[in-house]
Structure 1
């Protein structure tokens, strides 16, 4: 595996680049433009992607640990089998995403916007979703147990067999198609 540490990437270095089996540590991608950039089997430790622009970029089987990914619009990005552990992802926008095989353990996704997403069978457990908005999303067998759901809005969503813990269930209840997690 290639190792890259303490590097601030320029737009030119990222445009059209493909990275495979590379470990990035303490790297700065903030406000960078990713155009036709691909990452496969990469690890990102404590990297800053805040306000990055992801245009026709893909992340496959990547692991993000302790990264800042605030205010990113993932609409034109492809995310598959990625893990975002202990990441700050406040205010991100996910439009027309499926997020197959993705997970977000102990991450902060507060104030995120999910629109026209198919989040079926996705585990959104033990994360902060405070004030997140789910608009026209498919939530079938989605698991929200252990997550902070204060102020979350579910608008025009198709919800069935979606799991919440007791606090979330009290807030949303059966009226929307949620089921209570059994202890």
Structure 2
């Protein structure tokens, strides 16, 4: 069912519905949302700790500077979203996609990501520290300038179709990372190699 231009509580969200231009008020209950589409909606609260989002699609939504510590995202899609400065610490992400979005300065540290894909999005200075990656991480058309992958094993991560001039990584974690020839110069110094 399509729900348009309504002011709703989180408890009013029903599986199978599409919400367009709706505003959702603050909820004190634990948030559990599944099988819903949100188009151009607004969320009045900024703390979603311990929430669970399954099979949801977010189109043109702003979660800038929101907190999602300890949350779960399964088979969710973020399209054209503002996730700048969002806190996704100790999250569990599985088969999620982020596309055409701004994710700069967000923090995904100590999270688990399984089979996720990022396309045409900006991840400048994002923290991906102590991340556990399952099934790699596919990216294309993204910007990762200054992103921090400290203490994250990068085997299965493909950054070859994305851009960065500098990454913060531990040399021992680079094994299995896929990059292109132009990106190699920015990482070779970490290995103690001098380029003349």
State the TM-score, normalized to the length of structure 2.
0.81
For residues 104 and 37 of structure 2, the distance between their equivalents in structure 1, rounded to whole angstroms, comes to 24
Give the match for residue 137 of structure 2.
122
Judged with a 3 Å threshold, the aligned counterparts in structure 2 of structure 1 residues 80 and 28 are, in CA distance, closer, same or farther, namely same
For residues 49 and 12 of structure 1, the distance between their equivalents in structure 2, rounded to whole angstroms, comes to 15
Of 78, 84, 94, 1:64 maps to 78
Judged with a 3 Å threshold, the aligned counterparts in structure 2 of structure 1 residues 98 and 17 are, in CA distance, closer, same or farther, namely closer
SS of the aligned residue for 2:132 comes to coil
Give the match for residue 160 of structure 1.
175
1:95-134 matched pairs, under 5 angstroms: 95-119=109-133, 121-134=136-149
Structure holding more strand per residue: 1
Give the match for residue 17 of structure 1.
31
User: How many residues are paired up?
Assistant: 175
Q: Does 1:84 align with 2:98?
A: yes
State the TM-score, normalized to the length of structure 1.
0.86
Unaligned runs of 5+ in 2: 1-15, 192-196
For residues 125 and 78 of structure 2, the distance between their equivalents in structure 1, rounded to whole angstroms, comes to 20
Of 110, 124, 141, 2:156 maps to 141
Does the aligned pair in 2 maintain the 1:30–1:52 contact within 8 Å?
A: no
Unaligned runs of 5+ in 1: 177-183
Larger Rg: 2
Give runs of ≥4 in structure 1 deviating > 4 Å: none
* Aligned residues: CA RMSD: 2.0
Give the match for residue 27 of structure 1.
41
Give the match for residue 151 of structure 1.
166
Per-residue Cα deviation, 1:84-130 (whole angstroms, up to 9, x for no partner): 01111000111112310111111110110121113362113321001
For residues 75 and 46 of structure 1, the distance between their equivalents in structure 2, rounded to whole angstroms, comes to 22
Does the aligned pair in 2 maintain the 1:131–1:150 contact within 8 Å?
A: yes
